[in-house]
A and B are shown apart, each in its own frame.
Chain A
């Protein structure tokens, strides 16, 4: 009965959950910058959720340190389906300058499939918005496939 409504809404109300897997905070700040009046992703329905249970899109920043690996994976697992995993910045994608460090066990795609990866150190807000918009499309597809 509501299938169409729900499918259409899936792309319009993506809630983000942000995980810092050992990031330098650069990407984190950029992500928060998206909420400022200048970029205002809330107009697209984005919202930062307080808990993974509410999230649709998990945004991971940082090169996945040994300490954070289990916690990141556990939190990602706790997000209800359908979900999209987005990596933000170069770190989770390739470990960036931290590659080879004894304490870095990334990149993240060794452990979970990544849907969208936004490159850059740090990515520009426009790039992030673009990536997130792509993520919402994937979200809609996942919802539709169900």
Chain B
């Protein structure tokens, strides 16, 4: 089951990079960045998962000696990472709006005043 997670994570990252490389629409580039981020988040959560572990929070049931938690640290990391990802997307979209106003296009091939 974890293998599927890893494969999924890697696939998401690759798709994200693919979008950033191939798509000329800057909104799609931003979407690509988002997808890469999700892939990473999935990967981090999967790293902390222990087969059969319980949630790393206060539980109502009895704690027996055989029980163990899933690793809480990656979940915290993921939360942080999600927040950062959301901010990046918001900022990038804001810049897209301003760029569209200036250049009248979203085509990255035409937004190249800085070159050479």
Consider the complex of A and B and state whether they touch directly, i.e. have CB atoms less than 8 Å apart: no
